Amino acid sequence: MSLTVEAPGAEVVAFLADRELVALTGAGLSTDSGIPDYRGPGAPVRAPMTFQEFVSGAQAQQRYWARSHLGWARMGAAAPNAGHHALARIDPSLLITQNVDGLHEAAGSPRLVALHGRVADVVCLACRRTASRVALQRRLDGLNADWMARHGHSAMRPDGDVDLDATHDFVVAGCEDCGGSLKPDVVFFGENVPAERVQQCYDAVDALGEDGALLVAGSSLTVMSGLRFVKRAARSGTPVVIVNRGATRGDELATHKLETGTSEFLDELAQSRRTKM
């Protein structure tokens, strides 16, 4: 199980056609929806804000929300692509996504764990009240009426923000209940994924056995939050299939590795599985 095999697409599709699947998706799956990824071929180097930086004070939060306000206007309008729709049709026993864009939910995937949360929700760090990002966006529009006109051209980043340095005059909104600081309800770098989410994913991977497979689509597996499931599957003898443009940290654990577009591959796999049903 330690040798990565570059297999033709048809061979990989045939290998997965009648197996029980757990799917693990990353940012590469959403690039066809216009959302850039962090580590794909040609992607610029980006340093996302850490949780520790976010909670360090008002200036960091102003910088985050000034950028995120612009990015959300685009991410919130993104639509699921063929890969999202194909995975909804495949309906794996569990779909684990590292993405926070909500596109798997929009495509109708019924059995889903959003490992890092959803950027469409916000949470108060003081009272823990959760609220809709759409409602917050309206409040921020009212407080910063000309922000979009002045900075709407800024380049988009993967996590729903943009590249922008001049953020000092952005007005941040607080919690409507207690006035506390708001944070998107996602797991920042430097935070831990909630233990119950991780355990749910482990349980699904453990149930696969040698006759199932863990399918990784569009993830470089650079961070341990996703790589741990590949390691778990490999240790138990469950086949690991990786479909990603470029190398990943899990390549040496893969039984099959395919460097191709995720949308095309998943659509072909969905058609193959439907034929066998």
Within-domain flag for 188 = yes
Cβ partners under 8 Å of residue 171, min gap 6: 140, 143, 144
Q: Where are the alpha helices (DSSP H) in 17-81?
A: 51-54, 58-75
Give the gyration radius of the chain's Cα atoms.
Answer: 19
Q: In this structure, what are the phi and psi dihedrals at residue 103, rounded to the nearest 5 degrees?
A: -75, -30
Task: Considering the candidates 85, 116, 151, 256, report the single residue annotated as catalytic.
Answer: 116
Of 72, 197, 64, 175, the closest CA to residue 125 belongs to 175
- Decide: helix, strand or coil at residue 134: helix
What confidence score (pLDDT) does residue 150 get? Answer: 82
Name the region of 207 (left: φ>0; alpha: ψ -120 to 50; beta: rest): alpha
Within-domain flag for 220 = yes
What confidence score (pLDDT) does residue 54 get? Answer: 95
Within-domain flag for 119 = yes
- Decide: helix, strand or coil at residue 75: helix
Of 16, 7, 24, the closest CA to residue 225 belongs to 24
Question: Catalytic site residue 116?
Answer: yes
Of 81, 42, 39, the closest CA to residue 227 belongs to 39
Within-domain flag for 36 = yes
pTM of the predicted model over 0.75: yes
Within-domain flag for 1 = no
Lookup result for tokens 């990786």: 242
Within-domain flag for 4 = no
Q: Burial, 63: exposed, middle or buried (Cβ in 10 Å; 0-12, 13-18, 19+)?
A: buried
Which amino acid is residue 86, in one-letter code? A
Domain range enclosing 38: 9-276
* Longest CA–CA separation in the chain, Å: 58
What averages of pLDDT result for each successive group of 10 residues across the chain (277 residues)?
58 94 96 75 64 94 90 83 97 96 95 94 96 94 88 62 75 96 94 96 98 97 95 98 95 95 95 73
What confidence score (pLDDT) does residue 195 get? Answer: 96
Give the total number of structural domains in the chain: 1
Within-domain flag for 148 = yes
Of 215, 207, 270, 273, the closest CA to residue 239 belongs to 215
Lookup result for tokens 């000309």: 146
What confidence score (pLDDT) does residue 69 get? Answer: 87
What confidence score (pLDDT) does residue 3 get? Answer: 45
CATH code, domain with 164: 3.40.50.1220
201 is in an annotated binding site: no
Within-domain flag for 242 = yes
What confidence score (pLDDT) does residue 1 get? Answer: 45
Cβ partners under 8 Å of residue 34, min gap 6: 74, 78, 156
